[in-house]
Amino acid sequence: MHPVNKLMVSTLQRLPQSLVKPVAMRYIAGETLEDAARVVRDLNARKMMATTDVLGENVSTEEESLRAVQACEKVLAAIQEERLNANLSIKLTQFGIKIIENFCYENVKRILQVARSYKNFVRMDMEDSSITSATLNLYERLRGEGFENVGVVIQAYLRRSEGDVTKLIRKRVNVRIVKGIYIEPENIAFKEREEIRWNYLKLLKMLLEAGCYVGIATHDDFLVQGAYQFIREMKIPSTAYEFQMLYGVRPRLRDQIVAEGHRMRIYVPFGKQWHSYSIRRFKENPQIARYVLQALLFRT
């Protein structure tokens, strides 16, 4: 990270949460399920889908994981009851994968069963490289047991991802593709912006050519245009893919993609763990950190 960007993020980390919260909430639905439902309703009215995320990760006890599972069950129930066009994203470190892997498996299976009863879908988010293999293994296990309502994520900056995609496309899986945000060593991750971009497009092309349903998750104009080109050249129907973006990030680009006839899903996080999520997003996108600092400095 550039020294100036590092300084901005460090400054935000040291500020009182009460000062940062009003601005950070531009990128988070709020602290409650009711907040998330309100945001999703608004997105649906704007012809956009959503995926909801109960904030929290790297829990240290089974009790915390079980509380997260219960919270996710409530999300799925609310989506069903309010007829929202939304699904659910989960983090395996919140479900206990670093505590006991089989405990995590049982938790995810429980959520998938609830989602299946509602004819809904669950995306397992990808986290840092320490659990990449465990995440993919769990995904394969669940698919092998007949769960079709589960998807996975591939991070384009990981050098291993081409091999992972080669295995995944054999089953025409549902994949979200992202650049990747966690800080990883150079021996396992691409570091240069352009090589990450080109690898993203390479993997996206592999997935689309194989007939996989792809969540094209990006805020990068270059990648959006590259995706457009693939869609045109392969004559891919609009029902075979979707674009995905984070809540509150680049709304003009989001609206433009929708206006051009593409499906759009917005990642809607909510919960009391908003501060740690915000800091991670600031590190990923220092431009957001700059906006937040400017808003704090010049607010009246």
SS (H, E, C) 116-184: HHCCCCEEECCCCHHHHHHHHHHHHHHHHCCCCCEEEEEECCECCHHHHHHHHHHHCCEEEEECCCCCC
Question: Are the C-beta atoms of 111 and 73 separated by less than 8 Å?
Answer: yes
Is 163 within the bounds of a domain? yes
The structure tokens listed for 266 are 């917005």
Is 100 within the bounds of a domain? yes
CATH number at residue 176: 3.20.20.220
Q: What is the percent of the chain where pLDDT is above 90?
A: 78
What are 80-97's pLDDT values in tens digits?
999 999 999 999 999 999
176 classed as catalytic: yes
Is 47 within the bounds of a domain? yes
Query: Out of 125, 164, 250, 254, which one is annotated catalytic?
Result: 125
Is 94 within the bounds of a domain? yes
What are 60-69's pLDDT values in tens digits?
999 999 999 9
Q: Determine the pLDDT at residue 271.
A: 93
Instruction: Give the chain's domain count.
Output: 1
Is 5 within the bounds of a domain? no
Q: Determine the pLDDT at residue 2.
A: 59
Is 66 within the bounds of a domain? yes
Residue 221, amino acid:
D
125 classed as catalytic: yes
- Structure pTM? 0.91
pLDDT along the chain (300 residues), means of 10: 66 72 83 97 98 93 97 98 98 96 98 98 97 98 97 98 97 95 93 97 98 97 98 97 95 97 97 75 66 63
Distances (CA, A) of 101 to 96, 125, 150, 183, 193: 7, 16, 18, 23, 34
Is 15 within the bounds of a domain? no
CA distance 278 to 289: 9
Q: Determine the pLDDT at residue 256.
A: 98
What are 133-145's pLDDT values in tens digits?
999 999 999 999 9
Query: Out of 123, 176, 263, 281, which one is annotated catalytic?
Result: 176
Domain holding 204, by residue range, is 29-270
